[in-house]
Amino acid sequence: MPQNEMTKIQELASSIPKQKNLTIFFGRAGSRFMDNVKYFFLYCVKKRPELECHFMAFDRKEADILKAQGLPATWVNHPDAADIMARTGIVVSDDFHWKDQEFLWALLSGAKTVQLWHGIPLKAIGFPEINSTVNMNPEKAKHLTFVYSGYDAVVSTSPFFTEKAFAKAFKAEEFIESGYPRNDVLKRRPTKYDMINADRDLYGELVKFRKLGGKTVFFMPTFRDTGGSPFEDGAIDLMRMSEFCKKNNIMFICKFHPYLTINKVTLPENIRLMDSKSDAYPLLPLCDVLLTDYSSVYFDFLLVDNPMVFYPYDFEQYVSKNRELLFDYDSMTPGKKVMNENDLYTAFEEIMLNNIDDFVDVRQKIRDLSFSNADGLAAERLGKHVVSNYL
């Protein structure tokens, strides 16, 4: 959009009186109904009548799904959407997809902005990423400087991560240590609203499978900025994994990062692929072992307190070509580390067949560092803060 047009839209939007309590929510990965925004939106709709809430969907079908459940949702291209956004007092998001849409940014530039983000960072994000020499160029640095700046508030989970991660990554007026709303569902039985955009069939299947004595592994790796995936890179032989799981009554669930696409991979029937843009959090308590690499999901999984296995098979390439890490990997990852597939199966055998869990105390230590509160009330704390400070 030409600069003069964006300026005109900003001027028009600024001339329209703001409704302080009108709050719109933009979801993750193109405004999908998942992660922190999903759970904070559901809380605010049900428990915060002071706020007039709208989930702003980039997908028309998604808006229709939410409206069918009685939830206030608007398709971003609906004729009423521009008027709603021009009057909006508060914008809640957990990534910056909406800021990349120049029209939306111009309409909403006068609103308060609350950034929930989508994970406690192990890898460099924001300004530490901008200042890194890994996978950075002037154009990318300029873009990241814009999208990580200008927030009224950014949500954190503890004083440690405010100081060491979020306050360094974002330019914001304040940091709210409420905890993550998406973690509230780990502390309760999922409601019908929690299960929106979650795999209901798989949830039921997992419940039955575990009642019959089966074990479940969730494989949740992050994306590589430079491309590739653990399957495409040959880090896991799918047929070998399938045979191991059959032999040992294990269900292997693959849930990839929303930005990770898997090409040319055929999965055996006992290895399940969860939609990468669905919500895994209602299913996480049904996970007996988490397998990951550098994904922030392992911090959330500390609240489930089941064993984790870390498989950084491409560590040197990852930190030199993709992203620097904010912390020492070995000391910040509370689980068995394996670098090849043989050791991966050995780790699974120790944990699931021999019930060996050597990392209980380490998980507790990092959990206490990561979360000031682990009580399932993060959305409530955040809601109280928003209402008392922005209305």
Task: Work out the number of other CB atoms within 10 angstroms of the CB of residue 234.
Answer: 10
Compute the average pLDDT of residues 226-230: 74
- Residue 171 C-beta-side C-alpha neighbours within 13 Å: 9
Query: What percent of the chain has pLDDT above 70?
Result: 95
pLDDT at 28: 83
CATH code 3.40.50.11820 region(s) in the chain: 3-184+376-390
| Residue 328, pLDDT score | 96
pLDDT confidence tier of residue 232, bands split at 50, 70 and 90: confident
Residues 126, 149 contacting (CB under 8 angstroms)? no
Residue 278's pLDDT is 92
Q: What is the pLDDT of residue 262?
A: 61
Ordered alpha helix ranges (H), 89-237: 102-108, 126-130, 138-147, 159-161, 167-169, 200-211
pLDDT band at 1 (very low <50, low <70, confident <90, very high): low
Hey, how many other C-beta atoms are within 10 angstroms of the C-beta on 212? 8
Lowest mean pLDDT among 189-203, 232-246, 363-377: 232-246
CA angle, corner 97, sides to 91 and 374, nearest 5?
65
Give the residue range(s) of CATH 3.40.50.12580 domains in the chain. 200-370
Give the number of other CB atoms < 10 A from CB of residue 194.
19
CA-based nearest residue to 248, from 356, 348, 355, 341: 348
Average pLDDT over residues 264-278: 80
Backbone angles phi, psi at 19, to 5 degrees: -95, 105
Let me know how long the chain is: 391
For residue 83, CA distances in Å to 8, 22, 67, 86, 305 come to 15, 12, 19, 5, 46
CATH class of the region 200-370: alpha beta
Q: Which fold has domain 3-184+376-390?
A: Rossmann fold (3.40.50)
Q: What's the pLDDT band for 52 if we cut at 50, 70, 90?
A: very high
Are the beta carbons of 301 and 308 closer than 8 angstroms? yes
Please name the residues in contact with 328: beta carbons below 8 A apart, sequence gap of 6 or more: none
pLDDT attached to residue 3: 65
pTM greater than 0.85: yes
Amino acid 226: pLDDT: 73
**Mean of the pLDDT values across residues 100-117?**
92
Mean pLDDT score, 135-143? 94
> Who contacts 162 (Cβ-Cβ below 8 Å, separation ≥6)?
156, 175, 177
User: How many Cα neighbours within 13 Å face the side chain of 135?
Assistant: 19
Per-residue pLDDT band at 264 (split at 50, 70, 90): low
**For 326-353, how does the pLDDT look when each residue is reduced to its tens digit (9 = 90+)?**
999 999 999 999 999 999 999 999 999 9
How many CB atoms neighbour CB 355 within 10 A? 8
Spatial separation of the C-alpha atoms in residues 267 and 241, rounded to whole Å = 10
- 228 compared with 351, residue with greater pLDDT: 351
Q: What are phi and psi of 175, to 5 degrees?
A: -125, 125
Percent of the chain with pLDDT over 90: 78
Tell me the per-residue pLDDT of 287-304, one tens digit each, with 9 for 90 and over. Answer: 999 999 999 999 999 999
For residue 10, pLDDT over 80 is answered with no
Is a pLDDT exceeding 60 seen at residue 263?
no
Among 222, 218, 205, 276, residue whose Cα is nearest residue 245: 218
